[in-house]
A and B are shown apart, each in its own frame.
Chain A
Amino acid sequence: MAKYTSMAYNSWDEMIFGTTKNPVSIGLGPVELGKGWVVPQIVPHPRPGSTDTKEKLLREYQRMTDDALGRCVALGFPSLVIEFEHIYQMTSQPDWAAAIFKQAKAQMQDYYDKYGLKSALISTVADLRKPDMVHMRDSQELTWMLDTFASTAENGADVLSIETMGGKEVFDWAVQRQDIRGVIFGIGVLSSRDMAWLWPQIVETAKKNNITPGGDTDCARGNTAMFLAGGYTATDLPHTFAALARACSAARSLVAYEQGATGPTKDCAYEDPIIKAITGVPITMEGVASACAHSEMQSNIVSAVVDLWSNEAVEYHDMFGGSSVEVFTEILGYNVAQMNASIALGQEKVLRDINIASDKYRDVHGFMLSPDNSYEIGKAIVENIDSYYGRSKAAVLKTAELIAGDSKMQLTEFEKDALDKARREVEALPDSEDEFIDQCLSDYKKVAGFDPSSYGF
C-alpha cells in the first residue's frame, strides 16, 4: 500500500487546475483526468416519487442521462463525467442499481459512437451503515453495499467511490459540543480505521472489473461541521472549529489512496486540495455550480487546483433553460471551457490566483483550502504519516497556526476564542496514539450506539 512520506509537489505554486502528477484515464474515449485540462462532472438526482418502482426510476435516469449528454453535444463540450450518487433504493437493491448503470452506459456508448463525445460513469454507493445502528463490519447493509459495488462495476460503472460513515456517531456527539478531541477521535481514528478495513474490498472489486477505484469523502463529518458553521450570520458552530474538523478530514480521506484508490476523488471532499498536494491524484471539486445543492463560502477558491469540476447534486426539474440537468451541465461546461481557455492562453496561473483572491480571506474554510495553506497542512500530515491520530492532530495544529498567523484572516472575538480553546485542548492531548485511543474508548463509551468492535477494537 502507498505510504506518502513526501509531498507530490515541490511547492504549492506547482499545483494548478487540470494537471496532476498521477493522471487517470476512465470510460469512453477515454476521459483523461489531470493531463492538462479540466473536465466537467454532472451529478443528477431523481425526483421524489420517481423511486416508487424500478421502471419509474429507470425512466428518470434515462431522461437525466440523455439531457446531460445531449447538452454537451449541443454546445460542443468535449467530454463529460456523470456521477450517480446512489439513493437508498439503489444501494439496497443491487439489481436496480445494475439496471440503471447498464442503461446509462448504453446511452453514453450511443453518444460516443454517434458524436465521439467522451464520457465516464461514476458509481458512488450509499454507505447505509449507520454506526450507532449496525455493526460496521457485519451487517445486511454492508452486504448490500458490497453487492452493489459489484453489480454496478459489472454493468457500466467506470469508477467506484463512496462517502463512508465510520466514526459518525462519535463525531456527531462531539461536534454538537465543540469537543475537538472527539472530532479527532471520530474522524482521525475511527473513520480512518473503517476506511482502511473497507477500501481494500472496493479496490479488489474495481480491479476485478478493470475499472478505477476513485475516492472517499469526509462528507458525513467534515461537511456536517462546515454546514453547521454556515454563513456569516449562523450561530450553530464556530467557523474556526469547522476548519479544524476539515484538517482532520484530510488526514482521514488520505486512507483511500493509501489503500489503492487512484482518484478521481469524490467531489464533496473539500479536503481534496490537501489530498492533491500529498498524492498527486486528480481531484474532483464542487464550487459555484453546487449552489443548487447547498451554500458555501469558498465556491471560487476550490477551483484553483481542480481536475474534475462538479455540481454536488441537482434534482431533476424543469427550468426556463431546459431541465435542471441540462442547465447545470451547461454551467459546468462553460466554467470548464473558461479554465481550459486560460490554459490554452498560458494564463492558467492568473485565473487560479484570481479565484484564490476571491475567497481566501472570505472565511477560514476557504483560507485553509487555499493551495498555499493546503500544501502546508499536507506537509504536517506527511511528517506524521505513520499514525492516524498523530497526523490528524498535526493537521489540526498546523491549521490553527496558519489561521492565527495571518493578519488578513480576520476573526471575531468569538471565533478567535473558539480557535484558541481548541488549540489549547489539542496541545494538551497525549503524544502516544495508544494512550489517546485508550482515553477515548473509555470517555466516549457514553455516546449512544458507539461500538468499538465496529472498528476492530
Chain B
Amino acid sequence: MPKSLNEVSDFSNIFTRYDIGAAVQKRGAEDVSTDKVLQAIATGVVDGDEDMVLENTNKALENNEPTKVIDTLIAGMREVSKLWDDGVYYLPQVILSSDALMVGLEKAEDAMGGKAEKKGTVVMHCAHGDIHDIGKNIAAALIRANGFKVIDLGSDVPEDEVVKAVKDNNANLVTGTALMTTTMSAFAKIAQMMKDEGMTTPFVCGGGAVSEEYVTSFDLGVYADQAKQGVEMATDASSGMSWEDMRAKYNLVM
C-alpha cells in the first residue's frame, strides 16, 4: 500500500543530514589581554558590538598608546578568524566583527594622527558590464579587517580605470569579480593592458560563473573560489609572491 509522507519517518535512503552529524560545539574566544579595558575592546570585536568597542577604545586611549589599542583590535579580529575557521562563526558574525573593528580603528588612528601601517594595498573591482558585487564586498570587508588598504573601485568598472588604479596606488594585488561569463572577458583585457605596461601584479579573479580554466588562460591571472581566500592571497602578494607562484599554490596548473 502506498504511504503518505506523514507515515514516513526514515529518510536515510533519500538524504543524509551531514550538517547534523558535523555540528560544531559552541565555544567562546580566548582572552587577548589581562587589562580589563583592552580585553573589553577585543570582546567587543568578537561580539561585533560597535558601541562596546567605541566606548572602551575611548577609555583605553586615555592610558595607552594608539598602537597598543590597534594591536588589541587586531588581536580580537584574530580570535574571530579562529572561530570562523573552526566553524563556530558564520560569515555574518565575521562581518559584524569587521564593522566593530573599523569603528575602533578609526578612533585609534585619529588619536595617532595618521593611518596605521598597512600590510599591503589591494585594488578591487567588479567587471565592466557586471553589477553583481556582493562577493567583492564580502572579500573587501575581510581583507580590510585583516590590515590591508583596500581601494574598492565598485561595479561595472572600465578596464583602463582598473589598470590606472593599480599603477597609481602601487598595488600589491588586484582583484576582479564577475557573475556572468559574458562579462569576465574584461579580465583578460585588463591583464593584457597591465602586461603591456610592464606590470606583474597578481590579478585574482573569481565569482559566479568565472572558471579556473578561464582565469589561468591569461598571464597574471590567479583563480579564487571563495571570498575568504582573499586574505591569504593578499598576504602572499604583499610578501612578494609572484603571480606564477600564486597560481601554482592556489590553482591547478595545466
Contacts and interface: CB of A to CB of B under 8 A. Distances in A.
Interface string A278-291: 00000000000000
B19 interface: yes
Interface in B20-50: 20, 22-24, 26
Contacts of A48: 181-182, 184-185, 214
A89 interface: yes
Interface stretch (B56-64, B71-79, B89-97, B105-113): B89-97
A219 B184 CA distance: 20
Given A87-B182, A88-B182, A414 B23 contact: yes
A361 B19 CA distance: 13
B26 A413 contact: yes
Contacts of A413: 23, 26
B7 to A, nearest CB: 11
Contacts of B131: 128, 130, 133, 165
13 contacts: A87-B182, A88-B182, A89-B129, A133-B131, A133-B154, A172-B133, A172-B137, A176-B141, A178-B90, A233-B22, A315-B209, A412-B20, A414-B90
Contact of B156 (A46, A51, A133, A224): A133
Interface string B169-182: 00000000000111
Interface string A140-172: 000000000000000000000000010000001
A441 interface: no
Interface residues of B, number: 45
A353 interface: yes
B184 A176 contact: no
A318 B107 CA distance: 57
B8 interface: yes
B17 A357 contact: no
Contacts of A408: 9
Nearest to A418: B90
Interface in A213-254: 224, 228, 232-233, 235-238
Contacts of A177: 92, 95-96, 99
Interface string B99-142: 10000000000000000000000000000011101100110010
Contact of B92 (A49, A51, A178, A410): A178
B5 A360 contact: yes
Interface in A189-230: 224, 228
A358 interface: yes
Contacts of A359: 15
Contact of A232 (B5, B19, B24, B130): B19
Nearest to A408: B9
A88 B91 contact: no
A130 B22 CA distance: 39
B182 A232 contact: no
Given A133-B155, A176-B137, A177-B92, A353 B5 contact: yes
Interface of B: 2, 4-5, 8-9, 11, 14-15, 17-20, 22-24, 26, 84, 87, 89-93, 95-96, 99, 129-131, 133-134, 137-138, 141, 154-156, 180-185, 209, 214
A45 B181 contact: yes
Given A87-B180, A176-B137, A236 B91 contact: yes
A357 B8 contact: yes
B139 to A, nearest CB: 11
Contact of B181 (A47, A232, A236, A237): A47
A446 to B, nearest CB: 10
Contact of A410 (B20, B183, B214): B20
Q: Report whether over half of chain B's contact residues are helix, strand or loop; otherwise say mixed.
A: loop
Nearest to A235: B90
B183 A88 contact: yes
8 nearest CB pairs, A to B: A178-B92, A88-B129, A232-B19, A130-B131, A236-B91, A87-B182, A412-B23, A232-B18
Contacts of A92: 129
B34 to A, nearest CB: 31
A362 B16 CA distance: 8
Nearest to A128: B131
A175 B135 CA distance: 12
A169 to B, nearest CB: 10
A274 interface: no
Nearest to A236: B91
A177 B8 CA distance: 37
Contacts of A358: 14
Given A46-B182, A48-B182, A233 B91 contact: no
Given A177-B92, A238-B90, 20 more contacts: A45-B181, A51-B182, A88-B180, A88-B183, A89-B182, A92-B129, A133-B131, A172-B137, A175-B92, A176-B141, A177-B96, A233-B18, A237-B91, A315-B181, A357-B8, A412-B19, A412-B20, A413-B23, A413-B26, A414-B23
A350 interface: yes
A315 B184 CA distance: 14
Given A87-B182, A133-B131, A356 B14 contact: no
B17 A176 contact: no
Contacts of B19: 232-233, 412, 415
Given A48-B182, A356-B5, A176 B95 contact: yes
A442 B37 CA distance: 31
B91 A235 contact: yes
Contacts of A51: 182, 185
A362 B20 contact: no
A53 B198 CA distance: 29
Nearest to A165: B131
A361 B5 CA distance: 11
B182 A350 contact: no
B155 A172 contact: no
Interface in A289-330: 293, 315
Nearest to A238: B90
Given A176-B95, A412-B19, A236 B90 contact: yes
Contacts of A362: 14-15
Nearest to A129: B131
Nearest to B155: A130
A416 to B, nearest CB: 10
A128 B11 CA distance: 44
A413 B88 CA distance: 11
A177 B23 CA distance: 22
Contacts of A232: 17-19, 22
Contacts of A293: 209
Nearest to B86: A235
